[in-house]
Amino acid sequence: MRSTLRSVGVVVAMLLAIAVGTSSASAELWTYHQNIGPGANVFGPYVGHLVGSEVTPWGVGIGCAGIRYIGLTCPLKAEVVEYRIGGGGFTASEPYMHNHSTFETFLNGQYWES
């Protein structure tokens, strides 16, 4: 019984070490309930190890998520959208959001850095 508990403890410790090691990116909210005009962009802070950007709409406005000079993702409807650099890569740039709607809307912006 004691050796079984020890084995379970070792397995749990290994799984926790793997989980902590793989979650290398931390999320930061850079703007909350940001008012943004139709077709406008709002840029976040400069981040040295930027890996992704996320936009959450308030209401029916369509918000696109992007990384300046890298790329942008726009959904077809008002929903949470993210843009991430693939393959474990990162860049030194700024997260940004774009209002793809024809009217003023409010958006939240978040980014991930490694």
Mean pLDDT of 6-27: 45
CATH code where residue 42 lies? 2.60.120
Helices (H), the chain: 2-22
pLDDT at 22: 39
Is position 109 within any domain? yes
Confidence of residue 2 (pLDDT cuts 50, 70, 90): low
Is position 97 within any domain? yes
Mean pLDDT of 87-114: 96
Is position 92 within any domain? yes
pLDDT at 15: 36
Is position 65 within any domain? yes
pLDDT at 26: 78
Closest CA to 83 of 110, 107, 48: 110
pLDDT digits (tens, 9 = 90+) for 53-79: 999 999 999 999 999 999 999 999 999
pLDDT at 81: 97
Sign of CA dihedral 34, 37, 38, 41: negative
Is position 15 within any domain? no
